[in-house]
Structure 1
Amino acid sequence: MPSLRTWPVTLWVAPSNRCNQPRSSMPRKVCKDCQPENPYQRPAPHPGPRCATHWRAEQKRRKEAAHASHVAHVYGIGHRDYDHLKDLQGGVCAICQRATGATRRLSVDHDHKTGAVRGLLCRPCNNMLGHGRDSKDFFARAVAYLIAPPACRLTPEADQ
């Protein structure tokens, strides 16, 4: 019996599997949203996958539904109320007037004592209110600090 090294190459055949087949010959799954509706076909109990375009649309729909559900459950306002409040604010954060909520949705600001919704804020403004614990004195001191910072009161004689 000849050794494997002397056998002709044509005697050895690679096992056939899907990896060796060209992509065009592989069966393709059809997007369940792209399929034309057939009135005579029963809906599948577990329909197939989605194409990239429909999957992105589905992810966006799910994300919006989850946000609307969260806002309704925690703050008691519906998705339309959220959108109406955003329109009343001009589509921007109520404090800084810069953040639009395009990248990250505006947070629902509420009074922790009463639970009443006050408006929509960007994350930094909402954190600032939380850090100040909604204290008017805290923000009055912040305004006074901005008007007359302590460093302005330094005199050259104080360093000597």
Structure 2
Amino acid sequence: MVPAKPRPAPHPGPRCATHHRAEKKRRKAAAHETYTQKTYGLGPGDYARLRELQGGRCAICRRATGATKALAVDHDHACCAGPVSCGNCVRGLLCSPCNRTLGHARDELDFFKRAYRYLKNPPARQLEVDP
């Protein structure tokens, strides 16, 4: 019997599809770790520890887990000028919608107080009371 030729690897490198996916996942995680360290001043493993501390969910809505898209590192923009954070102004991990909401509010507490009052007593309720 003639020995079978080795099947050519479907991806670059001498890997089967399963090992290719595992290597791709490992590289993506390593790149994300490097990014969070350089951009937000987090130490090695700090992102994972922060995520664990938050129960693996967005700190605000508590719904998003970051399974599809990694949770964003939220930090106080007033602390550091420029594209890189000092690391002391990191507040937590947020999903994209919650992070955008904070960004649009520009971290103004008054915005959230107004939003709370609006939700508790919407203006349309006054229409029902007035004759």
TM-score, normalising length from structure 1? 0.67
Instruction: Determine the C-alpha separation between the residues in 1 that align with 2:41 and 2:105.
Output: 25
Q: Which has the larger radius of gyration?
A: 1
Q: Name the residue aligned to 1:68.
A: 33
Secondary structure at the residue paired with 2:46? helix
Higher relative contact order (CA 8 A, sep 6+): 2
Instruction: Determine the C-alpha separation between the residues in 1 that align with 2:97 and 2:68.
Output: 14
Deviation at 1:26? 6.5
Aligned pairs for 1:119-134 (under 5 A) are: 119-134=92-107
Instruction: Determine the C-alpha separation between the residues in 2 that align with 1:103 and 1:77.
Output: 22
TM-score, normalising length from structure 2? 0.81
Instruction: Determine the C-alpha separation between the residues in 1 that align with 2:112 and 2:129.
Output: 30
Q: CA RMSD in A?
A: 2.4
Deviation at 1:101? 1.1
Deviation at 1:48? 4.0
8 A contact 1:68–1:78 mirrored in 2: no
1:54 is aligned to 2:19: yes
Query: Structure 1 residues 49, 142: CA separation in 2 closer, same or farther (over 3 Å shift)?
Result: same
Query: Structure 1 residues 51, 27: CA separation in 2 closer, same or farther (over 3 Å shift)?
Result: closer
Deviation at 1:81? 0.7
Instruction: Determine the C-alpha separation between the residues in 2 that align with 1:156 and 1:89.
Output: 43
Aligned pairs for 1:32-111 (under 5 A) are: 48-111=13-76
CA deviation digits over 1:33-78, x for unaligned, max 9?
Answer: xxxxxxxxxxxxxx94321011101110110011011101100113
